[in-house]
């Protein structure tokens, strides 16, 4: 999945009066990178690592041992003068957009309890005002080889956000029409009604409890 698509998706996240909405990418061929930079990024605007980061977000919870989790934290430029576009985007007449880097963490299958953390101020703001934007998750069914559930937003970060939140996903294996039962999609949906307020976290840090389980057969 190209980061350019992610940039376009996260823009939707803020599209309606600053409210947070879940952005979901379609399942497909994706690879774990650890760190990735968007195609439109300019070398001159590359963010500088913060030597003493303080703003910590902890993601913890329990999951089915067959599930592998990928968490991604997106950092984007906020300064208008740092908006840019790829060469192909300019040819197509696409508007300039923020630059973006994403850091990844993986929770392997086999674990049932987990805890990972990101620093929201891992990068110095600099002239482009780099800031943490959103936390995403991707879920894999390692036992059955089911295709991943795609990418979904867990929370976005804002100065007026909450210090903690909790969410539970229930996952199901669904055979595809083409595979005739030999291969399945993994679909995961949240439990209970959706509330935008629960997806807005403080950019000072906090804790996210994220639990993943399988629906009963």
Domain boundaries, the chain: 3-43+54-214
pLDDT of residue 175: 73
Q: Are 54 and 203 in contact (CB under 8 A)?
A: no
Contact 53, 126 (CB under 8 A): no
pLDDT the model gives residue 205: 97
Tokens of 80: 């208008």
pLDDT at 104: 95
What are the tens digits of pLDDT across the range 24-50? 444 445 667 789 999 999 999 999 999
Taking 70 as the pLDDT cut, the residues of the chain under it are 1-31, 145-147, 176-183, 217
- Please give the Cα distance from 113 to 94 (Å, whole number): 44
In order, the DSSP letters of 29-91 are -----SEEE-TT--GGGPPPBPSS---EEEEEEEB-TTEEEEEEEEEEE--GGG-B--HHHHH
In the chain, count of helices (H) and strands (E)?
2, 12
Q: pTM, whole model, 2 decimals? A: 0.81
Q: What is the pLDDT of residues 93-116, one digit of tens each?
A: 999 999 999 999 999 999 999 999
Give the number of C-alpha atoms closer than 13 A to the C-alpha of residue 39, restricted to the C-beta side. Answer: 15
Q: Give burial (CB, 10 Å; 0-12/13-18/19+) of 17.
A: exposed
What's residue 182's pLDDT? Answer: 54
Q: How many CA atoms lie within 13 A of 47 on its CB side?
A: 29
The pLDDT value recorded for residue 193 is 77
């Amino acid at each position: 999945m190209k980061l350019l698509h992610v940039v376009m998706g996260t823009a939707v996240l803020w599209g309606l009066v600053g409210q947070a909405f879940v952005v979901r990418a379609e399942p497909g061929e994706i690879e774990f990178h650890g760190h990735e930079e968007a195609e439109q990024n300019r070398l001159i605007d590359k963010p500088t690592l913060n030597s003493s980061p303080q703003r910590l977000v902890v993601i913890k919870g329990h999951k089915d041992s067959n599930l592998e989790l990928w968490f991604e934290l997106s950092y984007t430029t906020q300064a208008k003068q740092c908006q840019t576009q790829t060469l192909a985007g300019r040819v197509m007449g696409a508007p300039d957009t923020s630059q973006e880097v994403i850091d990844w963490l993986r929770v392997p299958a086999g674990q049932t309890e987990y805890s990972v953390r990101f620093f929201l101020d891992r990068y110095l703001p600099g002239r482009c005002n780099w800031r943490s934007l959103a936390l995403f998750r991707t879920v894999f069914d390692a036992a059955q080889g089911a295709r991943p559930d795609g990418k979904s937003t867990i929370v976005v970060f804002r100065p007026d956000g909450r210090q903690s939140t909790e969410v539970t996903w229930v996952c199901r294996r669904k055979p595809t029409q083409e595979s005739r039962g030999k291969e399945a999609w993994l679909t995961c949906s949240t439990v209970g009604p959706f509330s935008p307020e629960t997806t807005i976290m403080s950019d000072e840090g906090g804790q996210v409890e994220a639990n993943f389980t399988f629906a009963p057969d």
